[in-house]
Amino acid sequence: MTVSIERTFANQTTLAEFLEKPDTKPASEYIDGEILQKPMPQGEHSVLQSELLTHINRAGNPAKIVYAFPELRCVFGGKAIVPDIAVFVWENIPRTTAGKIANRFEIAPDWLIEILSPEQSVNKVIKKIVFSLKQGSQLAWLIDPDDQSVTVFYPQALPEVKEKEDLLPSLEALKDWRLSVTEMFDWLKL
């Protein structure tokens, strides 16, 4: 028993040590002292991620309302997570003193989107979402390509499962943006 406890502590890395390590492909996250590598995205995941980025940025970028980033490492609350899509309200995007976009984001995304991969643990993804909501995220989606549903998370509210013709919620800043679950999954029919 003592050996396994010592082994667990011996294998743990600090956040600072993790951030000094070279990046991995696919990305690795630092959660509760553990380094966890995300699964390699596959076809459905890649199409959904690409189309969502395009649609969100088409609605939010020209007017400087929001910006959606793919696979962006966000370091906050003692963890380093890499959502499939991290959306930031324009004013919340970290910038350098010269006004350029910062390389390091030390803030929770305003909206995070996770696309479930077949080998991913649903509970680990939900724990990451709940953690982000507790740290300031306003909205999260968990997209399940297998059953073509989206579980929507808000701070201090029960999750909602959206299916078929249900409209998906977005940030208040994108109040005119509309997308149904069916429209989103129709992207997979290239």
0.85 exceeded by the pTM?
yes
Q: Render the burial of 122-135: b for 16+ CB within 10 Å, e for the rest.
A: eeebbebbebbbeb
CA Rg, the chain, in Å? Answer: 17
CA 28 to CA 78: how far, in whole Å? 15
Q: For 65-121, how does the pLDDT look when each residue is reduced to its tens digit (9 = 90+)?
A: 999 999 999 999 999 999 999 999 999 999 999 999 999 999 999 999 999 998 899
Domains of the chain, CATH where assigned: 39-189 (3.90.1570.10)
Residues forming a β-bridge with 71: none
Phi, psi (rounded to 5 degrees) for 146: -65, -50
Q: Which two tokens stand for residue 55?
A: 């649609």
pLDDT at residue 40, rounded to an integer: 83
Residue partners of 19: CB distance under 8 A and separation at least 6: 30, 75, 80
CA 182 to CA 190: how far, in whole Å? 14
Q: pLDDT band for position 11 (50/70/90)?
A: low
CB 113 within 8 A of CB 143: yes
Percentage above 70 pLDDT, the chain = 94
CA 73 to CA 84: how far, in whole Å? 10
CB 84 within 8 A of CB 115: yes
Q: How many residues does the chain have?
A: 190
Q: For 38-53, how does the pLDDT look when each residue is reduced to its tens digit (9 = 90+)?
A: 888 889 999 999 999 9
